[in-house]
Amino acid sequence: MAHDISSTEASLALEAIQQRRREVAASINVPGWYWPFLAAGWVALGILADFTPAWVSAIATLAFGAAHSAIAPRAMSGRHPSSRVSIHSDLADRQMPKVIILFLIGMTALTVGIALLLNADGARHPATLASVVVAALVLTGGPSLMAWLRARAVRSARRG
C-alpha cells in the first residue's frame, strides 16, 4: 500500500527529526554523581596529603586514579547522563573526554600551585585548603564546562 507524501509533509517530518536531534543533543551530560565524586576525592586526597605519611597519600592517589580511570570512559563520553538514557555516539562530541581531561589536568595544576603558595605563606594544612578551593571549582566549573559542550553539540546537531 503506497502512500504519497507531499513535500510539505516531508519537510515537516524532517524538521521534527532535526528538532528531536537537538533535544537529544541538549541532554548530553556526565552522570549527576560524577562532579561530586571528583570533588570528594579531591578533598580526601588533600586531607591525606596533610595528615598521613607520604606513602599513604601516594597509594590513595593511585587508588583514586585507578577508580577514576575505570569509570571515566563511560562517564566522560557524555552519552550516559543517567541510567535511563544512552545517546548515540554521532550526537556526542568525540572531543568531550579530551576537554574534560584537560580541565582536570588544569585543576590538578591549580591545586598544586595553590598548595605551594599556601605552604610558602605558612598555612598549616596547605593541601587540604587547596583541595577544598579546587573541589569547589570542580563542582561549579564541571557543570559549566558541560553546558558549553552541550551547546556545541546542539549547534552541531543543527548543522547535521
* pLDDT at 45 (0 to 100): 96
In a domain, 160, yes or no: no
Q: Residue 1 domain-assigned?
A: no
What value does the CA radius of gyration of the chain take, rounded to a whole number of Å? Answer: 21
Is 159 within a domain?
Answer: no
Domain count for the chain: 1
Residues 6+ apart with CB under 8 A from 25: 87, 91, 150, 153, 154, 156, 157
Residue 2 lies in a domain: no
- Asked if 67 contacts 45 with a C-beta cutoff of 8 angstroms, the reply is no
pLDDT in tens, the chain (160 residues): 467 777 787 777 777 767 776 666 666 677 888 899 999 999 999 999 999 999 999 999 999 999 988 888 777 665 555 555 565 555 566 677 788 889 999 999 999 999 999 999 999 999 999 999 999 999 999 989 888 887 777 777 666 5
Q: Is residue 145 part of a domain?
A: yes
Helix (H, G, I), strand (E, B) or coil at 99: helix
Q: Which residues constitute the domain of residue 100?
A: 7-154
The residues with which 82 forms a beta bridge, in sequence order, are 85
Three-state secondary structure string covering 14-35:
HHHHHHHHHHHHCCCCCCCCHH
pTM of the entire predicted model = 0.74
